[in-house]
Structure 1
């Protein structure tokens, strides 16, 4: 598998793939603009390409530091095209992010995952992730 980092010039290549996870994104232009904004906060986007050079899976992540985990990479987005699942793309991206965390001197990698994403949970657990906490959220008006 070929893994590449996407920059402002080629971010749009990930649009169809990211929509598998984020269907509320309806425009490639809006997606690119959102990624551009997040890049100001350290967000990076990497893609696993299939044999034909198309984006099969993407991972979006950023460096974070907090009291409970210290310096770590946080994976905001990880998804694979439905037609490319079970081919190792997401696992390859997780390994790439692990290596990048080591290169940057981070203590670990963290992510949240929807409770309904059972296949993703199997991948994370099989890749050495643990479930150390529950994530709570609240909408405020």
Structure 2
């Protein structure tokens, strides 16, 4: 397990209850995943899948591993939507696949959560008009 609490990918040992899984991505090899990994660990992610690939790159091996790893009752957590999808169409496709697999989805920055009733739930921020 890494210093942030996200376990490295590899052998799967399922916990006795579903736990959040994290996914993070940076666009270049020079960028650092530490901030995303720390936020995912703080969100309770027991396992994180981390890619270093441009958003335009369809070859994201850790995303593929994550989609194979998650199972019904799990929740996928991302720091922000742009870390998951390359485009709105890509994002809708990935979240749709998670839904078909029975996996919830949460985005920390946008405060989106499909684990509450199976649909996107938008939370109002403090000071926003009603």
TM-score by length of 2: 0.39
From the two aligned structures, give the one with the greater helix fraction.
Answer: 1
From the two aligned structures, give the one with the greater strand fraction.
Answer: 1
TM-score by length of 1: 0.37
